[in-house]
Each structure stands twice: as C-alpha cells, then as structure tokens.
Amino acid sequence: MASTRTNAGRYEPSLIEPKWQEVWEREGLYRASDDPNDPRPRFYALDMFPYPSGDLHMGHAEAFSGGDAVARFAAMRGFNVLHPIGWDAFGLPAENAAIKRGTHPKEWTYANIEQQARSFRRMGMSFDWTRRLHTCDPEYYRWTQWLFLKLFERGLAYRKTAPANWCPNDQTVLANEQVVNGACERCGTAVVRKDLTQWFFKITDYAQRLLDDIDELVDWPERVITMQRNWIGRSEGARVEFEIAETGDTVEVFTTRPDTLWGVTFFVFAIEHPLVRKLADAGGSASEAEELIRRLQATPLTNREQAESREGVRLGVHAVNPVNGEKVPCFVAPYVLMEYGTGAVMGVPAHDQRDFEFAREHGLPIRVVVQPEGETRDPETMTEAYDHEGVMVNSGPFDGVRSPESIGQVIRWLEEQGKGKAAVTYRLRDWLISRQRYWGAPIPIVHCPEHGEVAVPEDELPVLLPDDVDFRPGGESPLARHEGFVSTTCPVCGAPARRDTDTMDTFVDSSWYFFRYCSPGDATRAFDPELVARWMPVGQYTGGVEHAILHLLYSRFFTKVLYDMGLVSFTEPFPRLMNQGQVIYGGAAMSKSRGNIVEPMPLVERWGADTMRLMMLFAGPFEDDIDWKLIAPDPDRRPGVNAWLGRVYAVVHEAAGREAAEPESLRRLTHRTIRAVTEDLERFRFNVAISKLMVLSNEIRSTLDAGGGAREAAVALVQMLAPIAPFLSEELWREALGNDSSVHVSSWPSHDPKLAREERTVLVVQVDGRVRDRIEMPADASEEDCRQAALASEHARRFLEGREVARVIVRAPKLVNVVTSG
C-alpha cells in the first residue's frame, strides 16, 4: 500500500523521473493490445519517426511532447492506444559520417539509435517499445524490397534514362538539395548534368487520385493541403498538333490558352526534345543548335531551372499553325522544359510573358489576339504580355468571343476540326528512387543478358546489403564495386547475371512504416491486413511541416497502391495531421554554423523531462515556431514552468492531507476547468489548457491558505496534468494521493454540468457602447432583471444625464447597452 502521508519535501525531478520510468516499463503500461476482444475503441497515435543523426534535438523534443500528450490523453479517455516508435535509419548522413570517421555506417546508425532510444525513455515517452523497428534492419527492408517488387509487377516501377546532378570529383549523383550554387555541397566541385538510367515509381498515374482524395483529409493544416495541390499542379487546357512544313513531322504542344492560338508567331523546342537534331539538320542550323545543347546539357538542373535566359537558336524550319495555316519559325531554347507538357510550346508573345521576352530578344512579331474590355493593346508599345481576360480579335471565326468562355469554345472547335483535344497536364513527375549509394535498401532486380530486368523471387528476399563494402566515394556506386554482391545468376534461366547496384531513396522506407507497426514481428508478410484494418487509418499523425510534400505524398501514394492490390480497405493513411512548429533561436534556424544550437537533453537532466515538455507545450500554439531565445533567454535561470510544477507539488501534497471541506467556489472552478481543458486537449491547444491548470492550482493555493480543503481539485489537477507532465503527475497520484495504479491508466475526469455552470455572473453595463459599470448578477437573471439593474446603475446614470434613452439592448445575463439619442 502506497503511503498517503508523504512528507512533502521539495520537488526533485531527478529523483522522481527515473523511478517512474522504470516502473512503467516493468508494468508494460503502454503496450497496445491486439486482442480482438478488447472492448476499448482503438486509437493509433503516430509520430513521424526520427532519423538517427545524433541525439534528440529540440525539434524532436517538441514534436514528441505533443504526440505523447495526444497518446496519453486518448489512453485516459478509454482508448486502446497504439503509440509506436522506430527509426528512419537508412540514408546519406550515415555514409558521410562513416567516411569522415572511418567507421561503418551501420555502427554510427545503431549507436545513434541507442542514444535516441535512451533519451526517449528519459523523456518518459509512452511508446510501445515492443513494436520498435529500424528501416535498416534486414527484417524491415526485406519488405521494402517486396513492395518494390509489387510495384514492379504492376508496372509502377520502371527504368528510364534521365538527367541527374553529377559530381565529377565524388563520382556520384547528388540530390537537388545537395547542390549549392551549382557546386557539390561536400567538395565544392562544379556539378554537371549527366544522363543516367535510373528507377522510377510511376506516381503520375495516381496524380488525379492524389488530388481528389484530398477531400478525405478531414483534419489537415490548410497550408499543407495547398502545398500538396500545388505540387501535383493540375492544369487544364488543350493539346494541339503542329506540323513541320519542311519535314512533315508532327509535334504536339500543350496550352492552357487555346484561345490565343491565332497569336502564335513562333514555335520553341526544349533542348532535349527528340526532334531537335533532325530539325536542325533540315534547317541548316545543326552546328549552332549542337553548340547550345552541349553547353546547356552540362549545366546542373538546379542552375538551369533558376536561369531566366531567353537565349535560343533559330532552327531554320517552320511550324504550321493548324488554326490558320500560318508558317512560323522554330527555335530551340532552354526556357522550354522537356519535363513539363510535351517539351515544345507555341510562342504567343502578346499573351505570355516568357514568350514576350523571347520575341523581343529575337525580333519576332507580336500579335494581339485578346484585347482587354474597352482598351486596346498595341504590340508596338506593349511592355509586357497581356495575360488576363478579354475579347478575342484577329482570330477568324472567334472574333468577339470573350474569355473565359472562349477557351472552352475553342477547345470544342479544335476537337470538331480534329486539330486538337482537351487535355490535363500535371506538374508532378515520376518519383526517382535510385540512389548510387550504399546505405539503403538494395533494389531487388537482377539484370540478365537474356531476360533483361528480372525480379528477385520473393522467397530470396531480402537482398542483403553486404557489410564488407568500400563505401567511400569514387568510381561507381559502392555496391557496383562489390563483386560478390554484383555477380549472381538469372532467376529465370540460371545464366550468370548482375544484380542492380542502386539502393532505394529513403522516402521509400518511410512510405509504409506505419503499416509495419501494426504487426511488426510478422516474418511472413509486410503487414497483417487484419491488424492493419483494425488499427488504421492513423487516428492522429504528428510531425514537422518539412514533410508536408514528399513524405506525405509518397505515403498517400503507397496506400493507394496497397488499396488497389486489395491489401487495405482505405485510401488515405492519415486523415488527421498536426504539424508542430520549429524550435528556432534568435529568429533563425538553429545551426552549427550559427553556433546557436540548444540541446534538449542537458536541459532535461537539469530541470527534468516534465519541465522540458511544459516549456514546449506552454510556449504557444503547437503549430507555431518557438524562439528559444525569447522563451528562455537565460539558460541558468529556473524556467517558470519548473517553478509552477514545484508549486503544484506542494499544493497537491497539502491538499491530500487536508480534511477540511472544499468550498463550493473551488468545486465550481474544478468542474469548469475539467470541461475546458478537455476541449482544449481535443483541439491540441496545449498552451491554453496549461494556463487553465495554472489558474486551478492558484485557486487551490488560495483555498488552502484560507484553511479550506481542496482534495477533489487536486485529484483533477493531477489527472489533467498527466498527459503533459507524466512524471510529476504519477508521483503525486501514487505517493501523495495514495493510488495503487498509474494515473496514466486512470479515467479522465468528467465534469458535473451542474457545478460547471456559472451561478453568478458579472453584468456589463454600457452606455453607447462604452463600459460604464459592472454589476454582479445571478446567472439566470432575466432580460428584465438586467435592464432594471443597468438603468438603476449610478455609474451608468451619470452618462445618461441630459440624454434620452433611445433603445436598450439586453444580452442577459452578460451585457446591457443603453443607447442614447440627442
């Protein structure tokens, strides 16, 4: 039996916290129950799993403080909670660190995981540790590879040659983020474009569904939805075929403005367009065109995309405008992108700013075919393209037709004439998953001279990552240099064959981990569909906005593929998403180069995990950034929330041992607070919830000082504090309040509506909208009572002297506004 009479002493987190951490672990408090007969409703509380780059940082501390509060709150409200943890453990930093320190990526990775796991335990996170996973474990990436094969089977994984950023010094492909000002972020060498054959996932097949199903995301931050929409980038318009006069080739263009077809004065190809060389030959411009292509092909992708050059080479051939038979000159120019639309565009300088600039640079004619209502644009005097609505002119049968209706009319006409058709284009491109790196899941494909790309049979998975690899940069990718890995036999014919030596983008690993948590030990399949059906979709997903696009889009894509495979019955994995803000310092991101990094774990050691959590959750709205310099300007000063926890500690101990009757005013406050805090936590308004708990604890203090009892209030306070400060509340719950089992399995307090209702209220008396008096009234005062009281108010009457009362507006029992005239 725990003692109910604990000598209060001082609040010492360093004594309290490790003690309860051990007890919780021993009691298996946070284990999710897979028992189908468990009567509790299920709740899947998911936090974006961390990358083990070192110890936990402030971002983790914030995100997980919120996610853990969500999970604990749900558990106390009677849910069977699944709150798992794992590590997104493949990736480049492990290799870079390994190169720098001369250790194996595996050692570095697992050491960091252990460190983070220790820190999570120290923070008191309510994880079900039995479900822990690491994406770099063969038991996990075996199924990543299996999923690759499923996509391959369905034609959703394919290989094509595509340009990539290539560092000639490190002999490797770089992601766009690793190219800084056109140079390799690690060695500073100028990056070049290089065509490589690489694996892609055909996410573009799902573009429309990814867009449509946004409707199923019932609780996502608006801005994340917007980012996803923009990234998919649907545009509607038409495809129109042009013929090349000199060669007879036909070329398709995509346009969102078919109503400007009569304004076409030139035609432009992207440098990678397959017809360019042929047309240059035909037009006698082969050498200039070749020179341009060679020069630009070497420029890194990121640079070229930022360049705003309007240079271009006249090919010497002409395109025939299908709407009026006009021949216009063709160009090749870098401002047209092969990656978007068809890689060729019609040039309408009067109505497209880029075309306008190009026309001015090359002395091309400009023809206005859409005039703004009541105005006239003259090509001679125009300084920019006119791309708004207007009336069509110089457009044959369409003269006088107004936009936006004109666009649809022209499309219909094009279709009737067989010259074009309505079309939709997406900005979204296929997902390039190949990485010429070591520390990732090997792509389970064998290249056979006879049979081409052959899937590794499922029962031969995983394709293990060899340990004894030279992963330093240089030459080919690390796996390509490992003869024992590369040489194998063809699964079809048994002839000597070579393994694919690419590894997968780590976003592949993280696109399905939330399924694995549902049945983490399953050695026979990626996940158990029955358990997934039971736990998913995720009840609440918590993580940073930095994953607003890629991770979330890829996970949505995977879920839809699994749905199409019949393995899951839902199409969106995360209907509810909550983004924490960033923790910054002095208005800027924390970074080594700025030297402004604050580490969470030393603060946890000094002040306690509960204090760390409270600092995070009390600082402001969860989704807002926290500037650490503003909320904790002096690192040696005791944080305010730590002092408050100390007062809670004292107050609860005192209240626990007090026999005196509890005043009704305190009881009313307690029940009002229960109602309010419950609502606040449902909406993740942690900062507001905490402020209300502070009000309650202040009131308990006054009550005790006045000799009153406060046990009911103290019990409620401790329970409501549990999701936010789990250690202190457990200590108080068991030691001060004398409970035998954990506060974290206790039932969330409920309020008595009768007590929560206000019984007296302050009536505000206004004269002409200005507050002139406040009168205490019973909460059930009638309109007439309020009117009488207001008009009787001496304070108010002083302002009514010499004026006539025109109307009296009564909002019983809160407000009366006396309106005067004259």
Partner RNA sequence: GCGAGAGUGGCGGAACCGGGAGACGCGCCGGACUUAGGAUCCGGUGCCCGCAAGGGCGUGGGGGUUCGAGUCCCCCCUCUCGCACCA
Residues 646-665 touching RNA, rule: CB under 7 A, are: 646-647
Is 388 a binding residue for RNA by CB under 7 A? The answer is no
For residue 41, is the peptide bond before it cis, meaning its omega torsion is within 30 degrees of 0?
A: no
CB of 135 to RNA, least distance (A): 24
Tell me the C-alpha distance between 362 and 747, whole Å: 76
Interface with RNA by CB under 7 A: which range of 105-113, 227-235, 568-576, 740-748? 227-235
Is 346 a binding residue for RNA by CB under 7 A? The answer is yes
Between 101 and 795, whose beta carbon lies closer to RNA? 795
Q: Cα torsion at 777, 781, 787, 792 (round to 10°)?
A: -40
Is 468 a binding residue for RNA by CB under 7 A? The answer is no
Is 304 a binding residue for RNA by CB under 7 A? The answer is yes
Q: Is 343 left (phi over 0), alpha (psi -120 to 50) or beta?
A: left
Which distant-in-sequence residues (6+ apart) come within 8 Å of 595 by Cβ? none
Between 29 and 545, whose beta carbon lies closer to RNA? 545
Written as six digits, the tokens of 20 are 């309860």
Among 644, 684, 727, 748, binds RNA (CB under 7 A): 644
Between 71 and 641, whose beta carbon lies closer to RNA? 641
Binders in 111-150 for RNA, by CB under 7 A: none
Among 29, 183, 227, 382, binds RNA (CB under 7 A): 227
Site string for RNA, 601-620 (x = CB under 7 A): -----------------xxx
**Count of CB atoms situated within 10 Å of the CB of 111:** 13
Between 146 and 231, whose beta carbon lies closer to RNA? 231
Interface with RNA by CB under 7 A: which range of 55-63, 592-600, 636-644, 714-722? 636-644
Binders in 542-601 for RNA, by CB under 7 A: 545, 549
For the stretch 374-379, contacts whose Cβ atoms lie closer than 8 Å and that sit 24 or more positions apart, written own/partner, are 377/350, 379/350
**Count of CB atoms situated within 10 Å of the CB of 615:** 24
CB of 691 to RNA, least distance (A): 3
Tell me the C-alpha distance between 76 and 29, whole Å: 12
Among 340, 413, 563, 570, binds RNA (CB under 7 A): 340
Interface with RNA by CB under 7 A: which range of 243-251, 304-312, 487-495, 777-785? 304-312
Q: Are 661 and 712 in contact (CB under 8 A)?
A: no
Among 66, 334, 462, 520, binds RNA (CB under 7 A): 334
**Count of CB atoms situated within 10 Å of the CB of 399:** 12
Binders in 187-226 for RNA, by CB under 7 A: 222-223, 226
Which residues sit opposite 199 in a β-bridge? Answer: 159
Is 624 a binding residue for RNA by CB under 7 A? The answer is yes
Written as six digits, the tokens of 623 are 């989704």
Binders in 736-795 for RNA, by CB under 7 A: 761-762, 764, 766, 768-772, 774, 795
Binders in 671-710 for RNA, by CB under 7 A: 685, 687-688, 690-691, 694-695, 698, 701
CB of 433 to RNA, least distance (A): 19
Is 235 a binding residue for RNA by CB under 7 A? The answer is yes
Indicate the SS3 state at residue 268: strand
Between 81 and 720, whose beta carbon lies closer to RNA? 720
Tell me the C-alpha distance between 524 and 459, whole Å: 10
For residue 362, which phi and psi values (nearest 5 degrees)? -110, 10
**Count of CB atoms situated within 10 Å of the CB of 44:** 26
Between 557 and 686, whose beta carbon lies closer to RNA? 686
Whole-number Cα distances in Å, 314 to 12, 21, 311? 79, 73, 10
Tell me the C-alpha distance between 227 and 72, whole Å: 31
Among 641, 710, 718, 812, binds RNA (CB under 7 A): 641
Is 819 a binding residue for RNA by CB under 7 A? The answer is yes
CB of 340 to RNA, least distance (A): 4
- From the list 699, 731, 598, 512, the residue with the least C-alpha distance to 15 is 731
Indicate the SS3 state at residue 626: strand
Among 18, 93, 379, 621, binds RNA (CB under 7 A): 621
Which residues sit opposite 319 in a β-bridge? Answer: 244, 328
Among 345, 411, 714, 721, binds RNA (CB under 7 A): 345
Which residues sit opposite 764 in a β-bridge? Answer: 774, 815
CB of 202 to RNA, least distance (A): 17
Segment holding 110, helix H or strand E: helix 105-123
CB of 397 to RNA, least distance (A): 21
Written as six digits, the tokens of 430 are 């296929």
Interface with RNA by CB under 7 A: which range of 31-39, 343-351, 605-613, 664-672? 343-351
Binders in 236-275 for RNA, by CB under 7 A: 237, 253-257, 270
CB of 488 to RNA, least distance (A): 39
Q: Are 279 and 330 in contact (CB under 8 A)?
A: yes
Q: Are 110 and 483 in contact (CB under 8 A)?
A: no
Tell me the C-alpha distance between 207 and 147, whole Å: 20
Between 103 and 204, whose beta carbon lies closer to RNA? 204
DSSP secondary structure letter of residue 753:
H
Is 107 a binding residue for RNA by CB under 7 A? The answer is no
Binders in 28-87 for RNA, by CB under 7 A: none
CB of 157 to RNA, least distance (A): 23
Tell me the C-alpha distance between 88 and 140, whole Å: 11
> Binding-site residue total for RNA (CB under 7 A)?
87
